[in-house]
Amino acid sequence: MPQSSVRPPDHDPHAPSLLVDQLSVSYNGTAALRDVSFRLPAGQRLAVVGPNGAGKTTLFNVIAGTKRPNAGTVRIFGHGPGGDTCIAYVPQRSLIDWGFPVTAAEVVMMGRVREIGLMRWPRRHDWEIVRGALDQVGLADLAGRSIGELSGGQQQRVLLAQALAQEAELILLDEPFTGLDFPSLEALFSILDELRAGGVTELIATHDLNLAAERFDAVMLVNRRLIAYGPPASVLTRANLVQAYGGHVHILPEGDGVLVLTDTCCEGDEAGV
């Protein structure tokens, strides 16, 4: 099994971190995404927003190279997905078996499995990276703890540390804010801020429109097709939201902004993986 084919030639420095062009995906003939195109410069944080079944998880799967599109292309730093391990995909927390008998450090080390290579064991260098990643997310003290004993916020940070250990430049996070209390949320954002400052590109699927409006460089509103893409203020407009969410959106005037409530909720019911 050749190892050398994993890392393609160096990234094209002039290419955007992510370029998606006329992407269409369907499952058994039903369209999950139709004709989606956008480009995302490196070091930006993008919120991917839309109702359940809008195709957010599908989009992530295609970008990560775990699902083939029916049409269109994805380019990551100028290369197709599937050739590179610089993409980390952090799935919804509910998809992980937290009863699995491994420690936080072992889960983080999993991010380095490809880098270490088949039939080899982690070296000291790898353990240093794992320790550094756990340190960066503030979990150095819990490295040896079983993952089942961690809180939801800590589990989310372990998954993020795994992406750090993978040395990913493009991180896809699926619903990372679901079920987190306010301190956990702030802890997560301070890590995300630090990563972004280091040039990491972040794509985050979320249902939280307030967070999307306040904490992101750009927002993508999607419901099987791209409804709007750009700075939060220009995307999260009444007209766009009604188009994306249909009757499930209520918009109340509040000062100079709008307070947005939606009926969509929760995790685990996106279109298949």
Q: What is the binding site for other proteins (CB under 8 A)? A: 1, 6, 64-66, 82-85, 87-89, 91, 95-97, 100-103, 106-107, 109-111, 113-114, 116, 118-119, 121-122, 146, 148, 162, 166, 273
256 by Cβ neighbours in 10 Å (0-12 / 13-18 / 19+) ranks as exposed
Residue 180: count other Cβ atoms within 10 Å of its Cβ.
18
**Nearest-angstrom CA–CA distance, 80 and 213:** 30
Residue 96 or residue 258: which is nearer to other proteins going by CB?
96
Residue 105 or residue 212: which is nearer to other proteins going by CB?
105
Residue 146 or residue 264: which is nearer to other proteins going by CB?
146
The least distance separating other proteins from the CB of residue 13, rounded to whole angstroms, comes to 23
Phi-psi region of 125 (alpha: psi -120 to 50; beta: other; left: phi over 0): alpha
The least distance separating other proteins from the CB of residue 14, rounded to whole angstroms, comes to 25
The least distance separating other proteins from the CB of residue 146, rounded to whole angstroms, comes to 4
The least distance separating other proteins from the CB of residue 113, rounded to whole angstroms, comes to 5
Residue 106 or residue 135: which is nearer to other proteins going by CB?
106
- Beta pairing class for 218-222 and 226-230: antiparallel
Per-residue H/E/C for 174-188: ECCCCCCCHHHHHHH
133, containing H or E segment: helix 124-136
- Beta pairing class for 71-76 and 201-206: unpaired
The least distance separating other proteins from the CB of residue 128, rounded to whole angstroms, comes to 17
Residue 22 or residue 66: which is nearer to other proteins going by CB?
66
